[in-house]
Structure 1
Amino acid sequence: MRKRARIIYNPTSGRETMRQHLVDILPIYEQAGYETSAFATTAAPNSAKNEARRAAEEGFDLIVAAGGDGTLNEVVNGIAPLKHRPTMAIIPAGTTNDYARALRIPRDDPIAAARLILHKNKDFKIDIGQAGDNYFMNIAAGGTLTELTYDVPSDMKLLFGYLAYLEKGAELLPKIKPVEVNVKYDGQEYEGKMSTIFLALTNSVGGFEQIVPDAAFDDGNFTMIIVKESSLTGMLQLMAKALRGTHRDDPRIIYTKAKDVEITPLNKDDRLMINLDGEYGGDAPMKFHDLRQHLNVIANVDEIPDDALTDLSPDMKRAEDDFVRGVNELPKTENK
């Protein structure tokens, strides 16, 4: 029986990019051996999530998430809880496309992104994060800085991209208020003030690749960062160090690996919203678990750095010089 693929696309994402290219994308998956159909998401809640679940339960072999990080997160949430989980492909068409950046999927060329299905070394198993009843594939975060993603209007994100986030971040810095928390992680515990926490599954956080440079897609662990600092000067110093990748030993943060994490605010009047892949995912207290190698995903495997994958078969060797790390534009002098 011929394999089946379902493209779930956001018709309004990225200036209607997918709508324009769909006629050229469908034959690519047909060429790869899939009987291919498409579904346009609607404004109804969980439109992409519900369609992904339906297609998986009907036995589809491949689900293509075509849109921004929000569409991708919904597709993941549709298939992650199921016993039969189709292989997932990604065609970026949003504003930031963090996960596509980490997988080295072309972000400005939907046709090139689709054509990855034709590559020889094209897929591998990735970790998925579980947060309560929700799932995420890139990052979970909580704290004042992460709240800026809720406040940037969608039209502003479309027009100005990262500049919108940077402007809002600069506005929020003076308003950072630390929260007293208890964080349990793999038999260890932190109790004290926290301004921000990140649980990362990839090395791309907001488009920056030096914040969690040692993140691996498939090792069964989050890279966890707890930021204890909350002063304006201290936060600016930490942000500069993070963009250079020199922050991991700073005493103002905890930087470690963890499979299971539980976050609990200690003051009942403190609200700690949790952001999952850029979307609101509920309030702490919340438990997080890394589901090791839970989904099979199509990616640009040949260009992913070796240390980001821990369980590839021997025939999937890649040249390290194909991977060019993000350019560091900040001065090399340390801020102390």
Structure 2
Amino acid sequence: MMKTQKRARLIYNPSSGQEIMKKNVADVLDILESYGFEASAFQTTIEKHSARNEAERAAKAGFDLIIAAGGDGTINEVVSGIAPLKKRPKMAIIPTGTTNDFARALKIPRGNPIEAARIIGKNQTIQSDIGRAYGDKYFINIAAAGTMTELTYSVPSQLKTIFGYLAYLAKGVELLPRVQAVPVKIKHDNGVFEGDVSMIFAAITNSVGGFETIAPDAKLDDGLFTLLLVKTANLFDIVGLIRMVLQGGKHMNDKNIEYIKTSKIEIEPQTDKRMMINLDGEYGGDAPILLENLKNHIEFYANVDEISDSALVDTQELELEEIAQKFSHEVEELSEHE
């Protein structure tokens, strides 16, 4: 009996990253064919959940591999289409967005669809954790809450496109004085936290907004979130924390930070004020909320050799550090004039 050929479905966002993917679809399909796949492509539309619906359809149709090409938003949608299913195909990523946090964690070349597609040929995979919120929403990088994260919603989408999750840093000088600490109750694997926080941050990957030092020891496959609670709303303290992040993750031991490893997080606001939840950089709903880590839920093609080599320096990360250093300097100047 003849062995049936493996099938791959490329789901790509045509407008992501200056339409770079649009120009490379034929070449990427050729590469997939050379690796033994029968390959086809789907271009996402402006219809709501276009990528998610196609991912679910392709998975149910028995495709062996689904490739998400676009920014973190497209990847999130494709994951959301596959994650609820019992039988899930393998996934690969061709990052063409701006921050590409998940691709950065998998060490996939960014902004170069051909090189990204070639990672599949290395045949190295990782069983990655996925976050689930409210029982039916999924995230691959972060879930965040608190007034500090709500500032991202005031940022024009143009800025968000340029800076990704760090968007609010660009407007931070104007917005940070509005940061407040609010009372919360947070249940986690090791107990309960009750107190005031300005930011709640649950990370799956070690890359957030392009920085790999916010949750430096986060692992993609350990079944645990890295939960960071910022317990201050003081401008000087926050600037100090940003500095420590830039100094290689020294914030982890600061008195203003709770740093917890946990597989489940239950967030209950202890106030009538609305608490919005940010999932992968977009508004995802309001607290109260239960976040669950689905351990090793989806198998991704990854550049496993490089994941283990933490000595590699990322040029884009250096640029982002420059932006943040400038930001921290501007905030200090603002504080001195108050």
Tell me the TM-score normalised to structure 2 length.
0.88
Letter in 2 for 1:323: L
Counterpart in 2 of 1:308?
A: none
Letter in 2 for 1:127: D
CA displacement at 1:59 relative to structure 2:
0.7
Distance 2:92 2:101 in 1: 15
Counterpart in 2 of 1:264?
A: 268
Alpha carbons 1:105, 1:299 under 8 Å: kept = yes
Letter in 2 for 1:71: T
Counterpart in 1 of 2:83?
A: 80
Pair 1:223 & 2:226 matched = yes
Distance 1:21 1:41 in 2: 15
- Deviates further, 147-156 or 172-181: 147-156
Letter in 1 for 2:312: F
**Aligned counterparts, 1:142-221, within 5 A:** 142-158=145-161, 164-221=167-224
Counterpart in 1 of 2:251?
A: 247
**Aligned counterparts, 1:293-308, within 5 A:** 293-305=296-308
3-state secondary structure, aligned to 2:21: helix
Residue 164 and residue 263 in structure 1: after superposition, are their counterparts in 2 closer, same or farther (change >3 A)?
Answer: closer
CA RMSD of the aligned region, Å? 2.0
3-state secondary structure, aligned to 2:87: coil
Alpha carbons 2:277, 2:287 under 8 Å: kept = yes
**Aligned counterparts, 1:1-150, within 5 A:** 1-120=4-123, 122-132=124-134, 133-150=136-153
Distance 1:96 1:148 in 2: 18
CA displacement at 1:164 relative to structure 2:
4.6
Residues 261-282 of structure 1: CA distance to partner in whole angstroms, max 9, x if unpaired?
10010112x1111111111111
Unaligned runs of 5+ in 1: 306-319
CA displacement at 1:251 relative to structure 2:
1.3
CA displacement at 1:124 relative to structure 2:
1.4
Counterpart in 2 of 1:316?
A: none
- Deviates further, 199-208 or 147-156: 147-156
Letter in 2 for 1:192: G
Residues 239-289 of structure 1: CA distance to partner in whole angstroms, max 9, x if unpaired?
111222111111111001001110010112x11111111111111100011
- Deviates further, 143-152 or 168-177: 143-152
3-state secondary structure, aligned to 2:127: strand
Distance 1:60 1:321 in 2: 34
Residues 275-327 of structure 1: CA distance to partner in whole angstroms, max 9, x if unpaired?
1111111111000111110100011111002xxxxxxxxxxxxxx47634765
3-state secondary structure, aligned to 1:271: coil
Alpha carbons 1:145, 1:169 under 8 Å: kept = no
Distance 2:311 2:194 in 1: 42
Alpha carbons 1:140, 1:200 under 8 Å: kept = yes
Distance 2:161 2:269 in 1: 34
Residue 148 and residue 28 in structure 1: after superposition, are their counterparts in 2 closer, same or farther (change >3 A)?
Answer: farther
Unaligned runs of 5+ in 2: 326-331, 333-338
Residue 189 and residue 205 in structure 1: after superposition, are their counterparts in 2 closer, same or farther (change >3 A)?
Answer: same
3-state secondary structure, aligned to 1:107: coil
Counterpart in 1 of 2:328?
A: none
Letter in 2 for 1:218: D
Letter in 1 for 2:34: Q
Which structure's residues are more often helix, by fraction?
2
Residues 129-180 of structure 1: CA distance to partner in whole angstroms, max 9, x if unpaired?
1111211111111122222433333333445668854212332211102211
Residues 197-216 of structure 1: CA distance to partner in whole angstroms, max 9, x if unpaired?
11111110111111111111
Residue 197 and residue 163 in structure 1: after superposition, are their counterparts in 2 closer, same or farther (change >3 A)?
Answer: closer
Residue 321 and residue 247 in structure 1: after superposition, are their counterparts in 2 closer, same or farther (change >3 A)?
Answer: closer
3-state secondary structure, aligned to 1:17: coil
